[in-house]
Structure 1
């Protein structure tokens, strides 16, 4: 019973903040998702990534190991998911990227922080950075059917990741007043992302509920299995292993829906995946955490 209460204490702030966004829209209040998303992804999240990497107390060698583990885990997920999509004759631009890349920003970062503190957040930011680079390069290529990988360097999140990694490896620090300012901006990121997630879910019209349900269930199994296998193979420390499994197993991100809309994939099908996998995560995430907390 104590473990259940601990898991609920960890997960409830995430879903309650998303519920705020959901209720806000259902009540008829205005919420400009495009503006808030741009503010979060262009300013708040890059500041969060940079300061988290710069101030992390995790050994650089351990971070390197987590980076390798994340690459291996996502590589394994890609191979298995590609086979799944091909085997069931699913549309690759529509389904492949959403099934590979999860909501590591909106859900993964706050969950890692709530469950494992600053150490967990340090690992989570590294895994999020790996996912972001892959999602905004390989992921866009999958959804669009082509495209330049050079788009990645234009993303503020990627630039912040590379700069933060440089500061981490060199042991550099920004002046205190700069660090405090960047931290203050970065603190906006998690509540903004969670509330926006609730808003986006409230506005989506899911399609193909049956297919979305079984694909969401399969996604959890594939992601947990691949992340756990990669972590155990590389002998990750307990907290790093827990964060890796948690991050890789997060539900389909709202950005997958936005990319589907932009590149004219089946956006309704992706919307269904976002809604169903997010609802499913209310059960799956506590179950995953229960094994590690």
Structure 2
């Protein structure tokens, strides 16, 4: 078990550590370009390639999507209640506590722990959470919601295209399948490097408060993941991936939104860093647990 856990965790730590050290050494890194490439090219192709390479019933993904929506709604209810009780600003903290980092951390971990099948399930979770980030999360940060933002998300079109291929059982030409696979593969390592670069630029503030909120994010994610997956009868790999994704730390993108809309970015940065460090500290125990589900 120890060897298995190390083989899962080591690539994640290496990627994040490389990005962290690179940024600390003040090496050139065009974050805007890399983010755009990963979001607009790498991740959509990773989604399309992974989903179309597996012989999984599309209904399984549809059922999982419903479960994820229920989980995200549960996150919203619990986060809202906790922040109200603690009298903390909702625009600053709600999206950060509510939305887990199912991309930079969740996708690599799911792939390393559960293989390509696990990655496919993780992608469904990531897609729903990402859409939530660009709708609810953006609406919370901006104080308003624009449906146009949803249509700008390339993940929607990648998932729809993949589902169309799966439903029609269309055999992709070799050149298209190999192209999507090759260019989709750079997304996962770049996500980890981007995570490290982002963490290197953020500072921890209000440490006691952020430790408490990090504990809320982790325990809420784990608890909701276990309860919702049990209620919907998830088993095996799909349950392990779902619980793992639910328990991920606060998403780095929340800091970008806080910067854009001037919603106490220093506080959000502190929570993102603390939550991520907390997640790394508990990762061996979390992985050992979900691998036995």
Instruction: List per-residue Cα deviations over 1:168-214 (Å, max 9, x = no partner).
Output: 23323432101111111111101111101101100112221221111
Partner SS for 1:105: coil
Structure-2 residue corresponding to 1:47: 45
Which has the larger displacement, 52-61 or 211-220? 52-61
Question: How far is 1:34 from its partner?
Answer: 1.1
TM-score, normalisation: structure 2: 0.95
Structure-2 residue corresponding to 1:136: 134
Which has the larger displacement, 58-67 or 238-247? 58-67
CA distance, structure 2, for counterparts of residue 124 and residue 41 of structure 1: 16
Instruction: List per-residue Cα deviations over 1:134-170 (Å, max 9, x = no partner).
Output: 1111111111111212311111122222222222233
TM-score, normalisation: structure 1: 0.95
Alignment of 1:226-237 (within 5 A): 226-237=224-235
Structure 2: tracts of 5 or more residues without a match: none
Structure-1 residue corresponding to 2:255: 257
Partner SS for 1:104: coil
- The answer as to 2:56 corresponding to 1:58 is yes
Contact conserved, 1:208 with 1:269, CA < 8 A, in 2?
yes
Structure-1 residue corresponding to 2:106: 108
Contact conserved, 2:49 with 2:180, CA < 8 A, in 1?
yes
2:84 pairs with one of 78, 83, 86: 86
Instruction: List per-residue Cα deviations over 1:252-279 (Å, max 9, x = no partner).
Output: 1211111111121111111111111111
CA distance, structure 2, for counterparts of residue 53 and residue 250 of structure 1: 22
CA distance, structure 2, for counterparts of residue 260 and residue 56 of structure 1: 38
Question: How far is 1:229 from its partner?
Answer: 0.6
1:209 pairs with one of 207, 210, 216: 207
Structure-1 residue corresponding to 2:8: 10
Question: How far is 1:39 from its partner?
Answer: 0.9
Question: How far is 1:285 from its partner?
Answer: 2.5
Partner SS for 2:290: coil
- The answer as to 2:144 corresponding to 1:180 is no
Question: How far is 1:29 from its partner?
Answer: 0.9
Compute the RMSD of aligned alpha carbons.
Answer: 1.3
Contact conserved, 2:75 with 2:99, CA < 8 A, in 1?
no
Structure-1 residue corresponding to 2:125: 127
Instruction: List per-residue Cα deviations over 1:7-29 (Å, max 9, x = no partner).
Output: 22211211111000111111221
- The answer as to 2:171 corresponding to 1:169 is no
Question: How far is 1:234 from its partner?
Answer: 0.6
- The answer as to 2:278 corresponding to 1:280 is yes
Instruction: List per-residue Cα deviations over 1:209-238 (Å, max 9, x = no partner).
Output: 221111001110011111111100011121
